Structures are given as structure tokens and as C-alpha cells.
């Protein structure tokens, strides 16, 4: 599903967020990326979301070489990927329903047809009863679940999440991870950046540990 070949991301200052990274994630896998802040977790996700372009090497997502995706084709590419963010990135001037419907509206689904799918997505994160509320009236955990509902409403094959539990307490974090787990069980590939190692170990998924933009060399005490 995702394949990185010797990828380097160099910033204008010269420092490398990712240097010579190669990795491969299969279809249907649920993989965590761990590492200290600055290890390159976010950059890796941004390279997949095409908010950054690699300086070197190739990023291949769902058999598409992202290098060949032209600027004006990026929106269509992004629509195939569900994205979840640490700060939710919800639109606070409209209700939950409209937030979740947004990817469908962007894809050209009529408001009426969108309704059924939005409710299905909200149901999966157990927020069906809050569709008319504004995001700011929800708790952090609920807001993140709205963000997840928005990411999965188009039923993407790949879902990437950057510190989705970064602002949540352990109980809420576990709940969010369980939701992700359920998606994985029906075939969605997930790539989640997180530093919550205790939580990751409870889930027992593959872990890619990054350090200074490379795969961690030393033997991992948890593996």
C-alpha cells in the first residue's frame, strides 16, 4: 500500500527531516510510527499526504508514484486518503454533520445523498446523537471522533493519523485506537504516528521506530 525507497526530505536550511528512509506497508496492515518529536514522524505522513514532496527517493502509495502526481491532481489524490490530525482540524463555524459531510460535498455528492453516509460514519464513532451540535460544544475526545468520522466517510482504503491521541487521556486514547482497530478489521490500511508506546503495545501492532529521520538501529526493547 505504501512504499518508500530511499526517501530523503531536506529542508531549505539543509537539515534533513528524513534521510534515506525505506519502508513498506502492506494492504490491510495497521502500523504505528514512533519516535521522539523531530524524529520525522510527521514529515513521513506529510510526504504521504503530499503536503510535502521528497527531496530524493520515491514514495509510492496505492501503486501511484507520488512524484508523478501533478500539482492540480493533488486534490483528487488526497480524496483517496482519510486523514486524522492531532488538533482535529474541524471547522468550528458549522455543525458536526456538515463537518463530516465536507469530504462528500467536495467529491460532488449531493447534500441529500450525503446524509445517509454521514450518519453511518457518525454511528461508527458513536456520535450519531450529536450531529446537530457545534464542534466546540464537544469534548476533546468527541471532537477527535468527529475528525475520524470525517476521515472515513468517503470509505478510503488508507487512513493516516498524526498523533490522533496526543491531546486525549488514556481512556479516550484507547477508545480512539479501538475505533481504528475496527476499521483495520474490515480491510482499511492504517498508518498512525504516535509516541504512546504503552498503548501501542496493548494493541500489538507493527511498529516503525524512527530516529533522526532513519529507522532506529539498535534493538528495540519492546520487540
Partner 1 sequence: MAITRNVDAVAPVRSSGAFSIWLTRHTSTSLGALGRLSRQPFASLMIILVIGVTLALPAAINVIVKNMQSVSDSWSNALDFSMYLKKDLSVSDAEDLANLIRQRADIESVGLVTADEALLEFKKQSGFGEALNQLSENPLPHALVVRPSSGNTGASLTLLQEEIGNLPETELVQVDTEWVQRFHAILNIVSQAISIGAVLLGIAIVVIIGNTIRLDIENRREEIEVTKLIGASNAFVRRPFLWTGFWYGLLGGAFALLLVQYGLYLLREPVSRLAGLYQGKIAVASLTITESAAIIGVAVFLGLFASWVTAARHMRRIEPR
Q: How many CB atoms lie within 10 A of CB 30?
A: 21
Q: Count interface residues toward partner 1 (CB under 8 A).
A: 37
Alpha-helical (H) ranges within the chain are: 41-49, 74-78, 96-107, 111-124, 140-152, 170-185, 197-203
Find the binder of partner 1 among 110, 198, 218, 223 (CB under 8 A): 110
Of 59-67, 69-77, 165-173, 206-214, the window that binds partner 1 (rule: CB under 8 A) is: 69-77
Q: Kindly state whether residue 79 participates in binding partner 1, applying the rule CB under 8 A.
A: yes
92 Cβ contact list (under 8 Å, min separation 6):
134, 135, 136
Q: Kindly state whether residue 181 participates in binding partner 1, applying the rule CB under 8 A.
A: no
Find the binder of partner 1 among 154, 175, 195, 216 (CB under 8 A): 154
Q: Kindly state whether residue 27 participates in binding partner 1, applying the rule CB under 8 A.
A: no
Burial of 154 (0-12, 13-18, 19+ CB in 10 A): middle
Tell which phi-psi region holds residue 179, choosing left (phi > 0), alpha (psi between -120 and 50) or beta: alpha
Joined grid coordinates for residue 221: 526493547
- As measured in angstroms, the least distance from the Cβ of 79 to partner 1 is 4
Joined grid coordinates for residue 25: 506497508
Q: Kindly state whether residue 89 participates in binding partner 1, applying the rule CB under 8 A.
A: yes
Q: Kindly state whether residue 14 participates in binding partner 1, applying the rule CB under 8 A.
A: no
Q: Kindly state whether residue 187 participates in binding partner 1, applying the rule CB under 8 A.
A: yes
User: Where do contacts with partner 1 occur on this chain (CB under 8 A)?
Assistant: 49, 51, 72, 75-79, 83, 89-91, 93, 102-111, 113, 117, 124, 150-152, 154-156, 182-183, 186-188
Amino acid at each position: 500500500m505504501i512504499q518508500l525507497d530511499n526517501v530523503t526530505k531536506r529542508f531549505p536550511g539543509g537539515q534533513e527531516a528524513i534521510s534515506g528512509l525505506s519502508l513498506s506497508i502492506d494492504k490491510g496492515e495497521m502500523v504505528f510510527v514512533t519516535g521522539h518529536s523531530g524524529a520525522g514522524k510527521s514529515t513521513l505522513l506529510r510526504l504521504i499526504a503530499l503536503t510535502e514532496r521528497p527531496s530524493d527517493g520515491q514514495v509510492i502509495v496505492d501503486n501511484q508514484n507520488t512524484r508523478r502526481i501533478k500539482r492540480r491532481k493533488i486534490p483528487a489524490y488526497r480524496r483517496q486518503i482519510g486523514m486524522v490530525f492531532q488538533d482535529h482540524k474541524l471547522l468550528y463555524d458549522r455543525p458536526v454533520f456538515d463537518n463530516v459531510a465536507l469530504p462528500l460535498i467536495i467529491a460532488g455528492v449531493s447534500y441529500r445523498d450525503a446524509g445517509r453516509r454521514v450518519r453511518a460514519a457518525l454511528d461508527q464513532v458513536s456520535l450519531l446523537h450529536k450531529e446537530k451540535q457545534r464542534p466546540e460544544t464537544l469534548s476533546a475526545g468527541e471532537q477527535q471522533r468527529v475528525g475520524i468520522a470525517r476521515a472515513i466517510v468517503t470509505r478510503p482504503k488508507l487512513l493516516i493519523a498524526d498523533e490522533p491521541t496526543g491531546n486525549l487521556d488514556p481512556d479516550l486514547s484507547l477508545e480512539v485506537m479501538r475505533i481504528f482497530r475496527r476499521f483495520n478489521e474490515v480491510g482499511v490500511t492504517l498508518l498512525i504516528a504516535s509516541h504512546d508506546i504503552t498503548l501501542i503495545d496493548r494493541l500489538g501492532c507493527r511498529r516503525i521506530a524512527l530516529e533522526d529521520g532513519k529507522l532506529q538501529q539498535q534493538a528495540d526493547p519492546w520487540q
